[in-house]
Amino acid sequence: MLYVSRTIQDPASQRLTWYKPPLTVLVIKKVRDVSVLQPFVQLVKWLIEEKHMVVFVEQTVMDDTLLINNPGFSVVKEKLMTFRDGKDDLTDKIDFIICLGGDGTLLYASLLFQQSVPPVMAFHLGSLGFLTPFEFDNFQEQVTNVLEGHAALTLRSRLRCIIVRKNDELNRTSKPPTNLLVLNEVVIDRGPSPYLSNIDLFLDGKHITSVQGDGLIVSTPTGSTAYAVAAGASMIHPSVPAIMVTPICPHSLSFRPIVVPAGVELKISVSPDSRNTSWVSFDGRNRQELFHGDSLRVTTSVYPVPSICAQDQISDWFDSLAECLHWNVRKRQKHLDELSDLTHSSSNDTLDSLDHTDQLDS
Determine which one of 88, 92, 103, 273 is catalytic.
103
Backbone φ and ψ for 174, nearest 5 degrees, come out as -85, -5
Measured CA to CA, the distance from residue 122 to residue 105 in angstroms comes to 8
User: What residues contact residue 91 under an 8 Å CB cut-off, 6+ apart?
Assistant: 113, 115, 116
At residue 98, what is the residue type? I
Cα separation values, 248 from 216, 218, 281, Å: 5, 11, 14
Strands (E), 102-169: 120-124, 153-156, 159-164
Measured CA to CA, the distance from residue 230 to residue 238 in angstroms comes to 17
User: What is the chain's percent helix, strand, coil content, to nearest 5?
Assistant: 25, 30, 45
Pair 216, 249: CB distance under 8 Å: no
C-alpha count within 13 angstroms, C-beta hemisphere, residue 44: 29
Measured CA to CA, the distance from residue 277 to residue 199 in angstroms comes to 9
CA-wise closest residue to 266 among 244, 294, 240, 289:
244
Within a 10 A sphere around the Cβ of 357, how many other Cβ atoms? 13
Q: Where are the alpha helices (DSSP H) in 185-249?
A: 227-230
Specify whether 85 is catalytic. no
Measured CA to CA, the distance from residue 351 to residue 362 in angstroms comes to 16
Measured CA to CA, the distance from residue 309 to residue 321 in angstroms comes to 15
Catalytic residues: 103
